[in-house]
Structures are given as C-alpha cells and as structure tokens.
Chains A and B, each alone.
Chain A
Amino acid sequence: KQEVTQIPAALSVPEGENLVLNCSFTDSAIYNLQWFRQDPGKGLTSLLLIQSSQREQTSGRLNASLDKSSGRSTLYIAASQPGDSATYLCAAYNYGQNFVFGPGTRLSVLP
C-alpha cells in the first residue's frame, strides 16, 4: 500500500531564499506524482505533475524532481516571496489505484 510522507511539516524562511520541500513515497511503481498548493480555506491548486518517465518539471520559479528508485520527489522554489506562503502537498498516483496524499508542508515566507 502506497504511503506518502512530507518533511518538514512546517518551514519559515526570509523572503528571497531558495528552498526545497521533500516528499517520500514507499511504492516506486508510481504512474505520476503531483504537487499542489493550498491556501487557507481554499481548494488545492495543481502546481506540477511529473510523469513516471520524467525526472523533473519546471514552471516559473518552481522545479519538481522525481527519483523513483529512492522514492523521493522534491519541490524547489527559487527566490521565495511572501505570496508563496501556503501549504504544499504532494500526491502519488499508482495506475488503477487512487491518489495518496502526503500531510503537507506549511510554508511561511517572511517579508
């Protein structure tokens, strides 16, 4: 059964720093891995999806990598801004099963 964890649970950084959020999964036979952002009281916004055949995806200041052999994905945020403050969740999808979500990392970017 797929299990997903995220470290750290919370992170506070000054504006302008580059940062890395970590996501680990136990079943390496994933079909894709998706990163989401959730603002307080809002739904989840899809940030990046990495297919199992890919090693990374980029969107603006965000870069997500995938290493299936080690069961890890990282979300890199460059030049962080206060507007990046939110909870970031990763979700692993094994084909034919349901998505399994991590507990999230709560990010605060201080001005």
Chain B
Amino acid sequence: SQTIHQWPATLVQPVGSPLSLECTVEGTSNPNLYWYRQAAGRGLQLLFYSVGIGQISSEVPQNLSASRPQDRQFILSSKKLLLSDSGFYLCACRDIKRYDEQFFGPGTRLTVL
C-alpha cells in the first residue's frame, strides 16, 4: 500500500519569506496528487491537484504555487508568505487501482508570523 511523506512537520516563517513544502509518495506509480489546506476550525480546502509530471491545476487563486518535478513528488511553494497562509497543509494521493480511494500524508503545520 502507498505511504505519503511530508516535510517539514512544522514550520514557523516570517511574513514575506519564501516557502517550500515537499510531499513524496511510495508504493504506487502515476498517482493523482493533491494539496489541501485546513485552517483552524475550518474544513479542507483543495489548493492544487496534479494528474502527472508537470501538470498542475489550481483550484483557488492565491500566492501559492505547486510543481510536480517527478512522478511521486509534489511541491508547494510561495515566493512571499502572507499571514493568511498559516494553516495545516495536507498532501494526498488518489489510487485508481483501489476504486479511487484517497490517502493522506501526516501534514505540515505552517505558522506565519
């Protein structure tokens, strides 16, 4: 079965600094990959998804971007963080071999000060 790794686990960054969060997937090939954000007391918000290398779709306009340089690597970035970027960031994959079941990584807690 697949395993999703995310790092770092926690991150505290000043406003205006850059961001790079990494997600890697093991145990599957050519997965659909997703970045979600979960703000305090709010539901899951889909930020980006990718169906293949170099293919990124954005769901919400914002100052974040995503890239998929390798089949099982998904990166979330920002050039200049805003206070509103604080939240819990989750990477997920969809396994088409298991009836499109979705699996999540452990998440990254980002605090922007």
Answer yes or no: are A and B bound together in one complex: yes
Chain A residues within 8 Å of B, Cβ to Cβ: 31-32, 34, 36, 41-46, 49, 51, 89, 91, 93, 95, 98-99, 101-104
B25: interface (CB < 8 Å) = no
Q: Which residues of B contact A43 (CB under 8 A)?
A: 4, 6, 90, 104-107
Interface of B is mostly: strand
Cβ B104 vs Cβ A49 within 8 A: no
In the assembled complex, 14 residue pairs joining A and B whose CB atoms fall closer than 8 Å, in A order, are A41-B109, A43-B6, A43-B90, A45-B104, A46-B103, A49-B101, A93-B102, A95-B100, A98-B34, A98-B49, A99-B94, A99-B102, A101-B43, A103-B43
**What is the interface size of chain B, counting residues whose CB is below 8 A from a CB of the partner?**
23
Interface of A is mostly: strand
Q: Which residues of A contact B88 (CB under 8 A)?
A: 41
Q: How far is the CB of B51 from chain A (nearest CB, A)?
A: 11
Cβ A31 vs Cβ B100 within 8 A: yes
A101 to B59, CA, bound (A): 14
